[in-house]
Amino acid sequence: MIDITDPIYVLTIVAFVIGLIRMGNPATARSGILWAGIAMAFSIGATFFLPGISNLILIFPAILIGAVIGYVAARRVAIVNMPQMVAIYNGMGAGAASTIAAIELIRGNASSFNITIALAGAIIGNVSIAGSVIAFLKLQGWMMQKPITFTLQQVLNLIVAAVGIFFGVLFLTHFNTLLPYRDALIPFFVLTIGYGFLMGLPIGGADMPVLISLYNAMTGIAVGLEGFALSNYAMVVAGILVGAAGTILTLAMAKAMNRSVGAILAGGFGRTREENRTISGNLKPISSEDVAVMLAYASTVAIVPGFGMASAQAQFKVRDLTDLLISKGIRVFFAIHPVAGRMPGHMNVLLAEAGVPYDLLEDRDEANRAFQDVDISLVIGANDVVNPAARIQGTPIYGMPILDVDKSKNVVVLKRGAGKGFAGIENDLFYMDKTKMLYGDAQESISKVIQELKKL
């Protein structure tokens, strides 16, 4: 029979690369996802043409069950719960890579090189699956979101990781001698998975995005390594693409939140100190009528969206307000912080969904250069990403690069009440003389402002 897996794998790789390129731009991102899906379908299809494929009676129902669960879950998930979903899918990818490693290692009929590669993939996959489970439980609120710490935690983590790796090395050096050394595999898997759980415990909720992105990169690397072990180059390329994209995202997120990736691996990540300071000034409520008047006299308005816009599903009203302001000759731009919301690119996705033109979106650096000329910054459900406390040493978010909204001439903050941001701390911006608070659900508040603005 002619081997058609190689040509299909080439198509798979091309489709993955096209998908990734298209995901790089909000305008083409949807089709990028579709291309990646097609690539996945190709690679699964090619598997059936591999020599020696058996157990079809198990494979087909497994694919069917997985596809139905995945489809229903993806249709139902609310956008605010997307990080949990990413965490759990990450874990599944890592679990699949570890399972392949386990099977290859139990078979044991490979070269030392391949065994080494399979073991390395298994370590990374095991840490990633266990860590992703912890990330899911914390984000879903099924486990305490606060960092879980105890004395000698890092020493314990180190011992568990070192002993787990020791059993891996023991297996590697003795895999072709008889059985007892095979038993090294069980402690190897138990301990490396255990290390993954331990590593996730001290991570606080606010630091979770970086960690999920790191697990994403690790899962890609694990899949790539298992691809090497199986000599399956579609897996190698897919793994490398996920690993590289995940690594770039991890570094960008870590930079955006001023966190060190090295500290994550040491398991000492995300310990937030309790806040212990008083802020001078007071909160000054404003009515939607007054906000409309302020806007009508502005020349430049910056819109700063955050998690509250997503939660209120206010993006469509925000688009209406933008159109109205532009029709009145007012310059409008959106200031987008890379970790605003609850998932990478969250604001971009919502604004693209509402049809906000992409050229109105400014990234943090561009926006920060522009704020001093902004007459009014409309902060719509953003909190941590505009908190000047990040510039004050000793505060829990010290060092996190923020949007310098406080440099604009006037600030109007739309939020429902006294709710804090994800980091759970007070926001100095809200107490400044130039800041007014428009209380209420963001969608309702913007609707009222639009009504008032239309009367002027």
Cβ closer to ligand NAP: 191 or 397? Answer: 397
Cβ closer to ligand NAP: 39 or 304? Answer: 304
* Position 406 contacts ligand NAP (CB under 6 A): no
The whole-angstrom separation of Cα 328 and Cα 59 is 61
* Position 291 contacts ligand NAP (CB under 6 A): no
Q: Which residue matches tokens 């309702």?
A: 444
Least distance from C-beta 43 to ligand NAP, angstroms?
A: 28
Q: Which residue matches tokens 């959106």?
A: 334
* Position 306 contacts ligand NAP (CB under 6 A): yes
Q: Which of 13, 87, 94, 208 binds ligand NAP (CB under 6 A)?
A: 208
Among 273, 327, 330, which residue's Cα sits nearest to residue 302?
A: 330
Q: Which residue matches tokens 């874990």?
A: 91
Size of residue set near ligand NAP by CB under 6 A: 33
> Which residues have a catalytic role annotated?
384
CA 4, 6, 10, 13 dihedral sign is positive
* Position 180 contacts ligand NAP (CB under 6 A): no
* Position 95 contacts ligand NAP (CB under 6 A): no
Q: Which of 19, 227, 267, 381 binds ligand NAP (CB under 6 A)?
A: 381
The whole-angstrom separation of Cα 83 and Cα 140 is 9
* Position 86 contacts ligand NAP (CB under 6 A): no
Least distance from C-beta 448 to ligand NAP, angstroms?
A: 13
Least distance from C-beta 314 to ligand NAP, angstroms?
A: 7
Q: Cβ distance 44 to 234 under 8 Å? A: no
Residues 118, 123, 124, 125: what is their CA dihedral angle, to the nearest 10 degrees? 80
* Near ligand NAP in 344-363, by CB under 6 A: 344, 346
Cβ closer to ligand NAP: 122 or 367? Answer: 367
Cβ closer to ligand NAP: 242 or 310? Answer: 310
Least distance from C-beta 145 to ligand NAP, angstroms?
A: 10
Q: Which of 283, 419, 433, 451 binds ligand NAP (CB under 6 A)?
A: 419
The whole-angstrom separation of Cα 257 and Cα 211 is 12
Least distance from C-beta 342 to ligand NAP, angstroms?
A: 4
The whole-angstrom separation of Cα 110 and Cα 231 is 11
Structure tokens at 216: 């994403």
Structure tokens at 417: 């009440």
The whole-angstrom separation of Cα 360 and Cα 410 is 20
CA 193, 93, 342, 384 dihedral sign is positive
* Position 383 contacts ligand NAP (CB under 6 A): yes
Q: Which of 415, 436, 437, 449 binds ligand NAP (CB under 6 A)?
A: 415
Cβ closer to ligand NAP: 115 or 212? Answer: 212
C-beta contacts of 275-280 below 8 A and 24+ residues apart: 275/395, 275/396, 275/425, 275/426, 277/392, 277/394, 277/395, 279/426, 279/428, 279/431, 280/431
* Position 389 contacts ligand NAP (CB under 6 A): no
H-helix or E-strand spanning residue 300: strand 300-305
Least distance from C-beta 210 to ligand NAP, angstroms?
A: 9
Q: Which residue's beta carbon is nearest to the bound ligand NAP?
A: 419
The DSSP 8-state label assigned to residue 142 in this structure reads: S
Cβ closer to ligand NAP: 168 or 341? Answer: 341
* Near ligand NAP in 424-453, by CB under 6 A: 441-442
Least distance from C-beta 289 to ligand NAP, angstroms?
A: 19
Summarize as ranges the residues that interact with ligand NAP (CB under 6 A). 83, 206, 208-209, 257, 306-308, 311-312, 339-344, 346, 381-385, 414-419, 421-423, 441-442
